Amino acid sequence: MGTTQLESVPEPKYWHLKNVLGEALDSDFAVGEILPNERELAARFGVARATLRQALEQLELEGRLQRRRGVGTTVAPPRLGVDVSTVQHEWPGAAQDSWRPLDCATAPASTAVVRLLESDTGEEIHTVRRIRVSHGQSVAAELLHVPSSSVPGLSAIDAPSGPARARAVLRELQHLGLDGQERAVELGSARADDAKELDRLPGAPVLVVTTRYVVEGRIAAVSVATYRADTCRLTFGDSGDLEISDQPQEREAS
């Protein structure tokens, strides 16, 4: 990586630096290689560290860099294609489901979850926590919120906690006739729990896929799945209809 000083350019300085760094990543660094520290990089390019951080954050958002706990900033491998297309009339936990259940907690619905479910009730909610692994790497974490009224037979199942309880909730969902799904994808920032599950730093860019499962005109469950934006590109397949909305959406309960 050279020591070229940045001259006056019409575009923002951090953006120009981002492009310069991107070219250097292609020519001077290998996948997984650790970049020099911020002080050294800022000195090489004659920029303030704040400008450098903006450029590095943009490269991370584009999937070119990864920030890893205890390691530093490394060159990222090419993004994995992660298929998020689903069968409109299949519940989570179906035979071909690629998610692994980790745990299940039951508690009264929070305000955020009530809004996600578009419900006025404060009934108990079973929240199933699942993880998705691709090529040996955790690429997504999910919270599946299921009202107790959607799985009335669950109380007869002796699975008080852990993965067994999560699997029990998923099995009970299969008994419902699913009308279809409503999905939304948005860019977000990793919260503490997401970051821990995905080996990311809090605040790292993530892709959030919210899926509402509809039964007889009501929302019977909601999934909030958080994907690593630095390693994933989401693919929808033939069954994934993409809808563009100009209405802002609030990310909640993930």
Cα–Cα distance for residue pair 184/39, rounded to 1 Å: 40
pLDDT at site 119: 81
- Looking at the DSSP bridge assignments, the partners of residue 214 are 180, 219
Q: Does 208 have pLDDT greater than 70?
A: yes
Mean predicted confidence (pLDDT) in 89-111: 88
| Fold of domain 13-75 | Arc Repressor Mutant, subunit A (1.10.10)
Tell me yes or no: is domain 80-235 CATH 3.40.1410.10. Answer: yes
Instruction: Confirm if 210 and 104 have CB atoms less than 8 A apart.
Output: no
Give the DSSP letter of residue 155: G
Kindly tell me the number of DSSP H helices and DSSP E strands found in the chain.
Answer: 6, 10
Query: pLDDT tens for residues 152-168?
Result: 888 766 677 789 999 99
Domain with CATH 1.10.10.10 in the chain: 13-75
Cα–Cα distance for residue pair 37/195, rounded to 1 Å: 22
Cα–Cα distance for residue pair 224/211, rounded to 1 Å: 7
Domain with CATH 3.40.1410.10 in the chain: 80-235
- Global confidence as pTM: 0.71
